[in-house]
Chains A and B, each alone.
Chain A
Amino acid sequence: MLFSRRLMLGLAMAGSFASALAFPALAGEGPTEIDLFFPVPVDGKLARDMGTLIKEFNEGHPDIKATAVYTGSYDDTLIKTRAAIKAGKPPSAVIMSANFLLDMQIENELTNLDALIKADGTTKEQFLGQFFPALQGNAVINRSVYGVPFHNSTPLLYINADKAKEAGLDPEKPPQTWAELTDWAKKLTKREGDKVTQWGIAIPCAYDYCGWMMETLTMSNGGRYYNEEFGGEVYYDTPSMLGALTWWNDLIYKHKVHTPGATPGPAVSTSFISGNAAMMMLSTGSLTYVRDNAKFNYKVAFIPHNVRNAVPIGGASLIMPAGLEAEKQKAAWTLIKWMTSPEKSGWWSRATGYFAPNMAAYKTPDMVDFLNKNPDAKTAVEQLDVAKPWFATYKTVPVRKNLEDEVMLVLNGKKQPKEALAAAQKAADETLKPYNAETSLKLP
């Protein structure tokens, strides 16, 4: 046995292309080699952190050799994963944007994790119970587990505390309702004649971010963005979303406290850091950036509400593509469980600024220590109590874009909220039509 393994190793070392292609099964006798695709949505340092994490895993698991493959942004990672699946060489595990899971499941591209959970002797409830309840919606499809939450975020309200004090506002009592926020934004806007030198608030709107902010505002206005149980419906033309978009529109054109037009995320954070915007709504993922760059005192708070406190989650889950060999599946499952364990989850959270999905991570001494030093990181975790899943539908991206294109027209003063949302609904219904044709409208 040992001899044959050595022989195999020798053969493999000879680097013969042909043998590797002809006898893929024999290669399994060494450590199981698995690939992990990972995106870096925030900044370059994460790639190094991921290298550290995987090295530690390999040292602790001699029978598995995991390789971390950097695959660009969330969108790029989806493209590369799909290309690899099509080429017949799927990666064993992928860190996938949490709202792509449903779309992939509909396309039969995901491994159902139920069997692996059962083989471990745990029930689905026990397994999911480790994670914050808000994160489970994006990991479970039709009552089966398809993803394991890895790093997550929620939107936050960031306040320039110095400017608030200057305007006679108390940053220790941040605005809790839209009315209060509007009032704060008015007091924080400074003008010189026609020219605004300081904006009260900035809310990002570029593809991806815009849909997430619309979901945020709609939820805090009592609404839902989509049908959480079924991927064929979105609720764009509804009073709750109309209220949300009208308020955003009013901040620009009625109260004149928000810069006109669609502003991408980096522009919003730069504007806040430079003092050009006194408040902003942005992901918890930007907290580390703000902490490192703000030359003033800042304060983070929950997203204010009009009807109820509610925000969507963002971030990514670990998934396994469909069609993996049993051995790789097993090895990838070991990796996934290790990466989402309380210690590793907490370590990753401190390195990146995302919050740790595993609740037990917050009981580890390192994390308790970190939160005492950085109380602002606590707000994101507390807000999880009112968080709900991220929108995910059939063809999530085009359906989201159907809304975003119309919202951008509104923010630029080219359309009124009501007609924009009616147009968005119509376009989205059209995009969702093929899926409905084979599900909700496929009748006996």
Chain B
Amino acid sequence: MDVLKRFSNRFKASLPAYLLLLPSLVFLALFTYGAMGRVLVDALYQRATPKAPVRFVGLDNISAVLADPAFTGAVVNNLVYAVGTAIPSIGLALLFALALARTNAVSSALRAALFLPVLIPMVAASALFMFIFLPNVGLLDYYIGRLLPVLPNWLGDPDVALYAIMIITIWKNAGYYMLFFLAGLQAVPEDVMEAAHLDGAGPYRRLRHIILPELKPTFLFVIVIATLNAVTQVDHVFVMTQGGPSNSTNLVLFYIYQQAVEHYDVGKASAATLLTLAALMGLTALSFRTMANREGGP
């Protein structure tokens, strides 16, 4: 009885809060959870032949996706892409942030310059890079062509295309991650740095033993963001390669698009979406838990 009363009291107390949250909850339900629910349902249905009715197939769609070499290829490409874009762009971002940590006129101008690629929409940037990468006549070949006799067909060679795409991502994201590191550097305690200075610690030791440990939460956060970007940003694949040549730049999200649109196979597209969502949610939960532990919990 007492428990019930306490519960109802608590509910009464928080009722206004729920009421205030209601509009957002409605929209979340409609546009986020509703869509996810629909994907979940769609992933369980399939039709055997074009004119046959849609019927319940359970997990068949998921196993069909897992057995599809195009999907496994896309997953491998995506892993290479995620690692190959996250590490260099985070490394560059840290380097930029360390170099430009002190605010003065020059560093502000440089920060703005490094941040500029973030402001350019990915589609516009891809269209620009398409012309930079043009074989024989593009800007890149025009300059490097003077040094090397034979150049790769940047976007037309399956061995090179994924790396060409990765260069754009790194160029575009490094400036963005730099912002987080700049913010993180502000949080490094001034007195600790000063003490290290007095104790005769050189720049390398200060970086290794003070700055980097202090930046750990920032690192974790940026890694999560970079991984999410690697899965959700495929605008340049759409514009520049359409996943080609020979599927060499096909990423998971583009694979889903292909299944839904080109193959007109909603079941397989939904199944692939579910798998991706599960992987991303698992990864995010894991990272944020690690982060919370390091911070000492909320």
Interface residues of A (CB under 8 A from B): 75, 78-79, 82, 103, 106-108, 193-196, 199, 205-207, 259-264, 266-267, 270-271, 274, 276, 394-395, 397-398, 401, 404-406, 408-409, 411-412, 414, 434-435, 437-438
Q: Taking A395-B262, A404-B244, A412-B153 as given, write out 17 further A-B residue pairs in contact, using a Cβ cutoff of 8 Å, ordered by the A residue number.
A: A82-B264, A106-B50, A207-B244, A259-B135, A260-B153, A261-B157, A264-B130, A264-B155, A267-B130, A270-B134, A271-B134, A271-B136, A271-B137, A409-B245, A411-B245, A412-B158, A434-B49
By the criterion CB–CB under 8 Å, are B158 and A206 in contact?
no
| Residue B149 lies at the interface, judged by CB distance under 8 Å to chain A | yes
- Chain B 126-155 interface residues, beta-carbon cutoff 8 Å to A: 130-131, 134-137, 145, 149-150, 152-153, 155
9 interchain pairs (CB within 8 A)?
Answer: A193-B149, A196-B136, A206-B244, A263-B156, A270-B131, A394-B50, A409-B246, A411-B156, A438-B49
| Residue B242 lies at the interface, judged by CB distance under 8 Å to chain A | yes
By the criterion CB–CB under 8 Å, are A408 and B49 in contact?
no
The smallest C-beta distance from B141 to any residue of chain A, in angstroms, reads 10
- Chain B 237-263 interface residues, beta-carbon cutoff 8 Å to A: 241-247, 258, 261-263
Closest to B148 in A: A195
Closest to B160 in A: A261
By the criterion CB–CB under 8 Å, are B135 and A412 in contact?
no
By the criterion CB–CB under 8 Å, are B136 and A199 in contact?
yes
| Residue B48 lies at the interface, judged by CB distance under 8 Å to chain A | yes
- Taken residue by residue from 259 to 296, chain B's Cβ proximity to chain A (1 for < 8 Å, 0 otherwise) reads as 00111100000000000000000000000000000000
The smallest C-beta distance from A80 to any residue of chain B, in angstroms, reads 10
Q: Tell me the bound Cα distance from A412 to B157 in angstroms.
A: 6
With known contacts A267-B135, A434-B50, A438-B50, A262–B149 Cβ distance under 8 A: no
- Taken residue by residue from 42 to 72, chain B's Cβ proximity to chain A (1 for < 8 Å, 0 otherwise) reads as 0000001111100000000000000000000
The smallest C-beta distance from B154 to any residue of chain A, in angstroms, reads 9
By the criterion CB–CB under 8 Å, are A266 and B130 in contact?
yes
Residues of B within 8 A of A263 (CB): 135, 153, 156
Closest to B153 in A: A261
Residues of A within 8 A of B134 (CB): 267, 270-271
With known contacts A259-B136, A398-B262, A414-B158, A408–B246 Cβ distance under 8 A: yes
- Chain B 17-32 interface residues, beta-carbon cutoff 8 Å to A: none
By the criterion CB–CB under 8 Å, are A438 and B52 in contact?
yes
Closest to B250 in A: A405
The smallest C-beta distance from A157 to any residue of chain B, in angstroms, reads 20
Q: Tell me the bound Cα distance from A363 to B66 in angstroms.
A: 58
Residues of B within 8 A of A395 (CB): 262-264
By the criterion CB–CB under 8 Å, are A398 and B149 in contact?
no
Q: Which of under 10, 10 to 19, 20 to 34, or 35 or more describes the interface residues of B?
A: 20 to 34
Closest to A404 in B: B244
With known contacts A195-B149, A267-B135, A408–B244 Cβ distance under 8 A: yes
Q: Tell me the bound Cα distance from A110 to B22 in angstroms.
A: 43
Q: Tell me the bound Cα distance from A68 to B242 in angstroms.
A: 28
By the criterion CB–CB under 8 Å, are B242 and A276 in contact?
no
Q: Tell me the bound Cα distance from A196 to B48 in angstroms.
A: 52
By the criterion CB–CB under 8 Å, are A107 and B246 in contact?
no
Residues of B within 8 A of A411 (CB): 156, 245
Residues of A within 8 A of B264 (CB): 82, 103, 107, 395
Closest to B266 in A: A86
The smallest C-beta distance from A31 to any residue of chain B, in angstroms, reads 34
The smallest C-beta distance from B72 to any residue of chain A, in angstroms, reads 15
Q: Tell me the bound Cα distance from A263 to B262 in angstroms.
A: 22
The smallest C-beta distance from B289 to any residue of chain A, in angstroms, reads 38
Q: Tell me the bound Cα distance from A140 to B279 in angstroms.
A: 46
Residues of A within 8 A of B157 (CB): 260-262, 412
Closest to B47 in A: A434
The smallest C-beta distance from A436 to any residue of chain B, in angstroms, reads 9
With known contacts A263-B153, A394-B50, A395-B264, A276–B136 Cβ distance under 8 A: yes
The smallest C-beta distance from B58 to any residue of chain A, in angstroms, reads 19
Closest to B257 in A: A79
Closest to B154 in A: A261
Which residue of B49, B153, B242, B247 contacts A435 across the interface (Cβ within 8 Å)? B49
By the criterion CB–CB under 8 Å, are A107 and B50 in contact?
yes
Residues of A within 8 A of B52 (CB): 438
Q: Which of B49, B156, B245 has the most CB of A within 10 A?
A: B245
Residues of B within 8 A of A409 (CB): 158, 245-246
Residues of B within 8 A of A267 (CB): 130, 134-135, 137, 156
By the criterion CB–CB under 8 Å, are A405 and B247 in contact?
yes
Q: Which of A82, A103, A206 has the most CB of B within 10 A?
A: A206
By the criterion CB–CB under 8 Å, are A259 and B153 in contact?
yes
Residues of B within 8 A of A397 (CB): 262-263
